[in-house]
Amino acid sequence: MDVLVLDSDASFGATIDAALGDVNVSVFRSLPHLRSRYDALVFDQRPFLVCNNENELRRCMEWNSRLLAIFWARELPASVDILRLMRIGVRDLWLASEPASDWVTRLQLMQQPNENGAAISADLQRDIQMARSIQQNMWPQDGVILSDYRFSLRMLPAGMLSGDFVDYFAVGSRHLIFFMADVAGHGTSPALLTVALKNISWRLQQRYGRPRFRTPGQMLEWINGRIMEQSVDLHVAMFLAVIDLQTHNLHYASAAHFPPSLRVSDAGEVTSLEQRGKPLGLFADASYESAEAQLSAGDSVVVFSDGVLEQYQASDLATREQALKNQAASADDIEGLWSYVTANVSGEDDVSLLVVERLN
């Protein structure tokens, strides 16, 4: 694949070139420079254009609408700015804080729909891009610290829209809640259900300023009822946990979430947080059991979506689970673990990773 970088002040062109490894990257200082070289370049497919200046990007798209535009930013732009970029024709948004391996994978995924792009109207492509930006804005901020707990998140959608959803927040002054949901299926319908999950998350925060649920299992029962109200033919796997900030006990429950989440001690000992439970959205009378574990300083909770299992297809489930445990115990940080779990995924399923670490 070919990536053109428009970089007037050399602030990020060299970084992009080094990060993308074997990708054919060409860096240009100005649009006239790019235009003068463009006709002489040979492309296997429509080239990608990476730019960090909105005005320059707009000029590029006015000159050549075939370019697959990517906006590079040091920080996540505001929602209104993202929507404006999408209207210009931006296909993806890269952040300086993201691992470079994500960029390569997303380039590969963006090429797939482009092979049949002639059959998709420009209006539909813009709608999908806008939906993608809106969905990503619903995801919580990476690296948030809440009451001495750090929440680190990585998500790699299989397509333009994701069926995975993650959230974490404080409820009152004593409790932290976090969950990972995996909506069955692919495409628009599972992605739309994640909007309902965000709404459910807000209702948990706003309506239950002081937790009225005795256990995470009761929370899952309540969420199950809200999903049943949607009357959609989809089901959801979920891992949900509550941290008691006074005792540092982790209370958790699972609705058919797989692979099991992990508790990794500061010394590297790994324990599976495995609980049985039916998927959400299928059985109105489903009930869920809760369990608990103690979290000491330096301990982490690691939660995966089932997309991480793609790279172990030749192995049995026990071997796959053990491989995840080994890597969770040995990884120095979330970047190392994320690089491992996404190294050989095919992009056919969403992949998500959440790490919750007790700092003190």
pLDDT, residue 42, reads 65
- List the domain boundaries for the chain: 2-136, 141-358
Which of the residue ranges 130-144, 294-308, 328-342 would you say has the lowest mean pLDDT? 130-144
Question: Is the pLDDT reported for residue 211 higher than 80?
Answer: no
Helix pair 188-207, 216-229: axis angle to 10 deg: 130
Amino acid present at 174 = R
Most confident of 27-36, 223-232, 297-306, 339-348: 297-306
Kindly list the distances between the CA atom of residue 350 and the CA atoms of 123, 160, 219, 281, 341, in Å, as whole numbers in the listed order: 25, 10, 25, 20, 12
pLDDT, residue 321, reads 84
In CATH terms, is domain 141-358 a member of 3.60.40.10?
Answer: yes
Question: Is the pLDDT reported for residue 313 higher than 70?
Answer: no
pLDDT-derived band at 352, boundaries 50, 70, 90: very high
Question: What DSSP letter does each residue of 7-63 carry, written as one string?
Answer: -TTSSSHHHHHHHTTTSEEEEESSHHHHHHHHTT---SSPPEEEES-HHHHHHHHHH
Output phi, psi for 37, to 5 deg.
-100, -20
pLDDT-derived band at 246, boundaries 50, 70, 90: very high
pLDDT, residue 116, reads 47
Question: Is the pLDDT reported for residue 221 higher than 90?
Answer: yes
**The pTM of the whole model exceeds 0.75:** no
Mean per-residue pLDDT over the chain, rounded: 84
pLDDT, residue 119, reads 46
Per-residue pLDDT reduced to its tens digit, 73-89:
888 777 667 767 777 77
CATH of domain 2-136: 3.40.50.2300
pLDDT-derived band at 29, boundaries 50, 70, 90: confident
Other CB atoms within 10 Å distance of the CB of residue 345:
18
| DSSP-assigned beta bridge partners for residue 357 | 150, 300
pLDDT-derived band at 271, boundaries 50, 70, 90: very high
Per-residue pLDDT reduced to its tens digit, 82-110:
767 777 778 888 888 877 777 877 787 77
Per-residue pLDDT reduced to its tens digit, 165-199:
999 999 888 999 999 999 987 667 787 788 888 88
